[in-house]
Amino acid sequence: MNYFLTEEQTMIKELAAQIADEKIRPLAIQYDEEGTFPHDIMKILAASDLCGVYIEEKYGGLGGGIFEMSLVVEELSRACGGISLSYAATGLGAFPIILFGNDEQKQKYLPDIAAGKKLAAFGLTEAGAGSDASGIRTTATLDGDEYVLNGTKQWITNGGEAEIYTVVACTDRTKGSRGFSAFIVEKDTPGFTFGKKENKMGIRASCTRELVFDNCRVPKENLLSKEGAGFIVAMKTLDRTRPGVAAQALGIATGAMNEAVKYSKEREQFGSTISSFQAVQHILADMAIQIEAARALVYATCKFIDSGAKNISKDSAMCKVMASDTAMKVTTDAVQILGGYGYMKEYPVEKMMRDAKITQIYEGTNQIQRNIIALNLLKEFSASH
Amino acid sequence: MNIIVCVKQVPATTEVKMNKETNTIIREGIESVINPFDTYAVEEGLRIKDRTEGKVTVVSMGIPAVADMLKQTVALGADDCVLLSDRAFAGADTLATAYALSMGIRKIGEYDLIICGKQATDGDTAQVGPSLAEKLGIPHATYVRKITGIGDGRIQCQRLTDDGYDDIELTLPALITVVKEINEPRLPSLKGMMRAKKAEVAVWTADDVGADKAQCGLQGSPTQVIQTFVPVHDVQSEMFEGTPEEQARKLTDRLLSMHFMKAGE
């Protein structure tokens, strides 16, 4: 379908597609198997200028928004949802600075992210604070001109690989989530270390680690917005980056559908290709319907967010739910179409099925997303009656 | 260091179709790409530019549509593009092509190094590079697989041979033709693609470069192709992929199914 992308968006999509097809796809199965962090691909992305598509021009970017970022994530994810995540998670780490950073903070951190010289990461989740983000225990205490951070963040994508971390910690325990504050923490700050690399079911080329803060002193200037704004920083960031997860899911689903179509035209059973059987055709047709519907919702949401709209939580959650549920369904069906071969690691669809699963879980489980959607739906109804 | 890179547009397919009347390649209506060997020439030119500064000018001879292909090299980092395009250039053999390119390059002016791909995938002659060097009266080296040094009016490089390689030094300006081993071409950048969109390709005719039309095109071509044909290969081949063990298993299965082998042998 033609979504009437601008000339610039078309170029972004084409370039990302070229990198996915020529550079990522040949390595995807190997990097998944080994759990190799894709440093080489990150260098290619840096040279391509794609790292800065969502960053303002005055900070070295191309001045696009969530839509441009999502186009890149979608294309890269067609080839590998793990490698694309290292790119997308940098966006997640950068958006708190883009949205809430002051000019000095933006000048200091965004140009290196835009140039692809540094990766970023976002630290919110803790062992006891998953869906209930208000349960975080990491603390930040002001001591002179510095905040002293103590605590452990869990399952942080790009942990150890990123140079720039935006971290949410508690500055006032008496105020609940209103006592949270967000900080920029640089790698190599004394007292900031990393846990072991997690051994994951999917997205294995991405790197997931704990962030451990042990009397880690962060300059006062690294506070984002103001004390007590941390929860808002996190929620507003996630509202804007959920379409990125949706785009990742969309790319994985598209990649799986392409593999299923290709295989169905090659595989012969009962004397003809399996693509000639209606049972197979209908599965393929359903894949196409669901993917295109999800894509339309993701793109529309991206444009809505980039228009500067304020109330985006519901739409952002809807596109994430729809695209990730679609990815899970489509990748599972792709494995079904490839049959026994689909279950084997020599073929790419079992990896896609493993990669798809996380998109229903992270950046807010799909159950939490449905809470957000319903809450807003009911609020909207009350407001109009 | 000013570098000139010569590139050719070739049909994307390996099945080249010929015009039976003129015995020249039919280029119309077929998807075209930059000759794969020339992409290594462009990359090497850009790498020298990255190290030494200066500029890279990309030159081609061809139909007006070749301008779009030249713009792709701007997306990679080339500075200027020149297209030699004129009815008078049509049907050129390698000598007439080398002559036309030499006249275009004389008009471009000063340069330190000319880089060409080792050959084009359509004609496969590998003659244009060396002929061009002769026309310009400069030294050349073919099949260069590595540039080991460049500067102070000299270039040192390794020329691939059947047995290994030769270390060669040439005085600049010089011409080299390069092989695939020399580098891995970069992908375009977004800023490069945007620059390419706006880039202007200089299109020069035979008159613009002061070429003698008797030496151009079909008229200036001493070699004439009498007949072309695709050799018939009766052998059917099938490639098996996978690990050596998997390949062996697939091969055995195939031989068994064709009854060339019996199970248990």
The rounded distance, in Å, linking the Cα atoms of A353 and A333 is 9
* A44 in reach of chain B (CB within 8 A): yes
A30 and A58 inside one domain: yes
B15 and B102 inside one domain: yes
Cα B246 to chain center, whole Å? 37
Query: Which residue of A22, A23, A49 is in closest CB contact with B189?
Result: A49
Q: Give B181 to chain A, closest Cα distance, Å.
A: 18
Of A184, A204, A230, the last residue of a domain is A230
The rounded distance, in Å, linking the Cα atoms of B229 and B189 is 41
Q: What is the token pair recorded at A220?
A: 């006062």
B58 and B188 inside one domain: yes
DSSP string, A38-60: -HHHHHHHHHTTGGGTTS-GGGT
Kindly list the residues from chain B whose CB atom is less than 8 angstroms away from the CB atom of residue A50.
190
Kindly list the residues from chain B whose CB atom is less than 8 angstroms away from the CB atom of residue A48.
187-190
Position A135 scores a pLDDT of 92
B261 and B201 inside one domain: no
A128 and A11 inside one domain: no
Would A306 be classed as within a structural domain?
yes
What value does the mean pLDDT take over residues A249-274?
A: 98
CATH of the domain at A295: 1.20.140.10
Nearest residue on chain B to A21, judged by CA atoms?
Answer: B187
A240 and A307 inside one domain: yes
What value does the mean pLDDT take over residues A15-43?
A: 96
Q: Give B194 to chain A, closest Cα distance, Å.
A: 8
Kindly list the residues from chain B whose CB atom is less than 8 angstroms away from the CB atom of residue A47.
186-187, 189
B125 and B249 inside one domain: no
Beta pairing, strands B154-160 & B165-171: antiparallel
A139 and A45 inside one domain: no
Kindly list the residues from chain A whose CB atom is less than 8 angstroms away from the CB atom of residue B187.
15, 18-19, 22-23, 44, 47-48
Q: Where are the beta strands (DSSP E) in chain B?
A: 3-6, 9-11, 18-19, 24-25, 32-34, 56-61, 80-84, 113-117, 140-151, 154-160, 165-171, 174-178, 202-204
B38 and B167 inside one domain: yes
Would B228 be classed as within a structural domain?
no
Position B229 scores a pLDDT of 75
User: What's the domain count of chain B?
Assistant: 2
What value does the mean pLDDT take over residues A281-300?
A: 98
B237 and B131 inside one domain: no
The phi and psi torsions of A262 (rounded to 5 degrees) equal: -60, -50
Enumerate the active-site residues of A: 363
Position B24 scores a pLDDT of 73
User: What's the domain count of chain A?
Assistant: 3
Query: Which residue of B187, B194, B242 is in closest CB contact with A48?
Result: B187
Determine contact, residues B174/B43, Cβ cutoff 8 Å.
no
B89 and B165 inside one domain: yes
A214 and A261 inside one domain: no
Determine contact, residues B151/B139, Cβ cutoff 8 Å.
no
Q: Where are the beta strands (DSSP E) in chain A?
A: 120-123, 139-143, 146-157, 164-170, 180-186, 192-194, 208-219, 223-224, 268-269, 272-273
pTM, rounded to two decimals: 0.86
A265 and A204 inside one domain: no
Position B108 scores a pLDDT of 94
Q: Give B262 to chain A, closest Cα distance, Å.
A: 25
CATH of the domain at A46: 1.10.540.10
Q: In the predicted model, is pLDDT for residue A294 greater than 60?
A: yes
In our burial notation (b when 16+ CB lie closer than 10 A, e otherwise), range A194-215 reads: bbeebebebbbbbbbbbbbbee
Would A2 be classed as within a structural domain?
no
Determine contact, residues B9/B66, Cβ cutoff 8 Å.
yes
Q: Give B46 to chain A, closest Cα distance, Å.
A: 14
| Interacting residues of A54 by C-beta distance below 8 A, sequence separation 6+ | A61, A64, A65, A66, A68, A69, A91, A94, A98
Would A1 be classed as within a structural domain?
no
* A48 in reach of chain B (CB within 8 A): yes
Q: What is the token pair recorded at B220?
A: 């200036």
Would B237 be classed as within a structural domain?
yes
Would B265 be classed as within a structural domain?
yes
Residue to substitute from B47, B190, B240, interface A, most A β-carbons within 10 A: B190
Q: In the predicted model, is pLDDT for residue A162 greater than 70?
A: yes
A146 and A55 inside one domain: no
Cα A14 to chain center, whole Å? 20
Would B222 be classed as within a structural domain?
no
Would B10 be classed as within a structural domain?
yes
Would B153 be classed as within a structural domain?
yes
Q: In the predicted model, is pLDDT for residue A359 greater than 60?
A: yes
A246 and A375 inside one domain: yes
Instruction: Specify the length of chain B in residues.
Output: 265
B152 and B209 inside one domain: yes
* A33 in reach of chain B (CB within 8 A): no
* A23 in reach of chain B (CB within 8 A): yes
A95 and A146 inside one domain: no
Would A146 be classed as within a structural domain?
yes
Chain A with chain B: Cβ pairs closer than 8 A: 33
Would A148 be classed as within a structural domain?
yes
Query: Tokens 């036309």 label which residue?
Result: B100
**Which residues constitute the domain of residue B160?**
3-215
B117 and B210 inside one domain: yes
pLDDT in tens, A206-225: 999 999 999 999 999 999 99
A79 and A114 inside one domain: yes
B132 and B237 inside one domain: no
Q: Give A341 to chain B, closest Cα distance, Å.
A: 14
The rounded distance, in Å, linking the Cα atoms of A326 and A287 is 8
Kindly list the residues from chain B whose CB atom is less than 8 angstroms away from the CB atom of residue A11.
190, 193-194, 197
Position B14 scores a pLDDT of 65
B53 and B138 inside one domain: yes
Parts of chain B with a pLDDT under 70: 14-16, 27, 264-265
Determine contact, residues A252/A349, Cβ cutoff 8 Å.
no
Residue to substitute from A48, A68, A71, A87, interface B, most B β-carbons within 10 A: A48
Question: To the nearest whole number, what is the mean pLDDT of chain A?
Answer: 97
Name the more confident of B219 and A141: A141
B204 and B246 inside one domain: no
**Which residues constitute the domain of residue A131?**
121-230
Would B221 be classed as within a structural domain?
no
User: Helix axis angle, A230-266 relative to A313-342, nearest 10°?
Assistant: 30
Position A93 scores a pLDDT of 97
pLDDT in tens, B85-141: 999 999 888 999 999 999 999 999 999 999 999 998 887 788 999 999 999 999 999
Kindly list the residues from chain A whose CB atom is less than 8 angstroms away from the CB atom of residue B186.
47
CATH of the domain at B201: 3.40.50.620
Q: N- to C-terminal Cα distance for chain B?
A: 65
Would B225 be classed as within a structural domain?
no
A150 and A212 inside one domain: yes
